[in-house]
């Protein structure tokens, strides 16, 4: 039983629409994977917000993403959304959960197997839930670095992107780029410091997740050389990433994956990243960017980015991080799970 016979439920988060209008990396991966599976002839029902766009069958109870509509109570709509999917569990051969830990608590109430992609641990306080269902629910990690030692994993599946949406940019526009959440974890203040040392223009793109951090560490530096353009949607994403001399990913936490890192590379833009979390799995030293350990190394690395050919940077991710490769990997995981039931 597979391909045309598999009935798959794809359970998406409902913080944002699928695909997201600007921010929403989990929702973006759900979209890329869902559309790729449908193109392979797999019957997918996408459980997401009602305004989501998909070629799969869309089943929704939540009208919009609660991060886009403050009138929606997140807990209420998350409960309704997850329950709606699991109430239909018997209609499916497999439920693929991208909703973090909460759907695990429904998994023993249904006969349908549940696969959970763990998109990172926002806190170690989540681990008791994952430990409780370890072995009953199958887990996939998004990088080798983001695995919890006490959990069992069926596979690691690195994210993939639709490469055609991130065409190679032959020539940069001369600016450095920070692209991500405005939060201490993501290293926006560090990017500003590197740009200051180099006296290079810095463009900051992303949602403000920590207002006090933005007010204290970012806003005072805005001006002629540092600009904040806010969240960037799909209409400007490739242009913004591709125009940079380098993407500065000077993170202060162990990054589970880093979708913008791969997207920048696909456009030919090298990445200077702190050697934490998944970055050593993505950044190839002197090929598509540089791994660094402090701001002195980051400052020096930016100067070497011009020596990296943009075609070579793109080539380094074309096979490893394509949407097609991600779809292939998940199909292999689905086959493992469904074979166990025969």
Query: Which CATH number covers residue 116?
Result: 3.40.50.2000
By the 8 A CB rule, do 53 and 29 touch? no
Q: What is the pLDDT of residue 72?
A: 97
Domain around 35: 3-160+322-341
- Judgement on whether residues 125 and 219 belong to the same structural domain of the protein: no
- Judgement on whether residues 77 and 215 belong to the same structural domain of the protein: no
- Judgement on whether residues 203 and 304 belong to the same structural domain of the protein: yes
Length in residues, the chain: 342
- Judgement on whether residues 250 and 314 belong to the same structural domain of the protein: yes
- Judgement on whether residues 56 and 83 belong to the same structural domain of the protein: yes
Domain count, the chain: 2
Token pair recorded at residue 41: 């002839």
Q: What is the pLDDT of residue 2?
A: 55
- Judgement on whether residues 246 and 193 belong to the same structural domain of the protein: yes
How far apart are the two ends of the chain, measured CA to CA in Å? 9
Q: What is the pLDDT of residue 123?
A: 84
Q: Which residues contact 26 (CB under 8 A, 6 or more apart)?
A: 12, 13, 15, 98, 119
Q: What is the pLDDT of residue 234?
A: 86
- Judgement on whether residues 238 and 332 belong to the same structural domain of the protein: no
- Whole-model pTM: value is 0.94
Task: Kindly give the confidence (pLDDT) of every residue in the chain, 342 residues in length, as a single tens digit, with 9 standing for 90 and above.
Answer: 455 689 999 999 999 999 999 889 999 999 999 999 999 999 999 999 999 999 999 999 999 999 999 999 999 999 999 999 999 999 999 999 999 999 999 999 999 999 999 999 888 899 999 999 999 999 999 999 999 999 999 999 999 999 999 999 999 999 999 999 999 999 999 999 999 999 999 999 999 999 999 999 999 999 989 999 999 988 899 999 999 999 999 999 999 999 999 999 999 999 999 999 999 999 999 999 999 999 999 999 999 999 999 999 999 999 899 999 999 999 999 999 998 765
Residues 13 and 55: their CA atoms lie apart, in Å, by: 18
Please give the distance of CA 324 from its chain centroid, rounded to a whole number: 16
- Judgement on whether residues 87 and 173 belong to the same structural domain of the protein: no
- Judgement on whether residues 245 and 326 belong to the same structural domain of the protein: no
- Judgement on whether residues 219 and 168 belong to the same structural domain of the protein: yes
Q: What is the pLDDT of residue 283?
A: 98
Q: What is the pLDDT of residue 341?
A: 60
- Judgement on whether residues 278 and 309 belong to the same structural domain of the protein: yes
């Amino acid at each position: 039983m597979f391909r045309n016979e598999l009935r798959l439920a794809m359970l998406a988060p409902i913080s944002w629409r699928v695909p997201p209008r600007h921010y929403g990396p989990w929702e973006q991966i759900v979209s890329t994977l869902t559309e790729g599976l449908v193109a392979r002839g797999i019957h997918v029902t996408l459980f997401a917000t009602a305004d989501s766009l998909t070629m799969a069958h869309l089943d929704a109870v939540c009208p919009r993403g609660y991060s886009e509509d403050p009138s929606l109570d997140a807990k209420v709509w998350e409960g309704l959304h997850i329950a709606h999917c699991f109430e239909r569990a018997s209609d499916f051969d497999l439920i693929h959960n991208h909703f973090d830990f909460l759907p695990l608590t429904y998994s023993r109430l249904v006969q349908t197997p549940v696969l959970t992609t763990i998109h990172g641990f926002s806190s170690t306080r989540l681990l008791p839930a994952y430990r409780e269902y370890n072995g009953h629910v199958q887990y996939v990690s998004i990088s080798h670095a983001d695995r919890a030692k006490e959990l069992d994993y069926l596979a690691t599946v690195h994210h993939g992107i639709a490469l055609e949406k991130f065409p190679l940019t032959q020539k940069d526009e001369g600016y450095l780029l920070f692209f991500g959440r405005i939060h201490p974890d993501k290293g926006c203040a560090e990017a500003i410091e590197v740009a200051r040392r180099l006296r290079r223009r810095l463009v900051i793109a992303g949602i403000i997740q920590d207002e006090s951090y933005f007010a204290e560490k970012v806003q005072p530096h805005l001006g002629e050389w540092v600009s904040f353009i806010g969240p960037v949607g799909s209409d400007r994403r490739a242009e913004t990433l591709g125009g940079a001399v380098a993407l500065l990913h000077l993170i202060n936490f162990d990054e589970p994956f880093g979708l913008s890192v791969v997207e920048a590379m696909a456009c030919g833009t090298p990445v200077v990243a702190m050697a934490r979390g998944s970055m050593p799995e993505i950044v190839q030293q002197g090929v598509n960017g540089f791994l660094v350990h402090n701001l002195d190394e980051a400052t020096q690395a930016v100067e070497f980015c011009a020596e990296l050919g943009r075609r070579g940077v793109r080539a380094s991710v074309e096979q490893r991080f394509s949407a097609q490769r991600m779809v292939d990997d998940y199909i292999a995981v689905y086959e493992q799970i469904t074979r166990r039931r025969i």
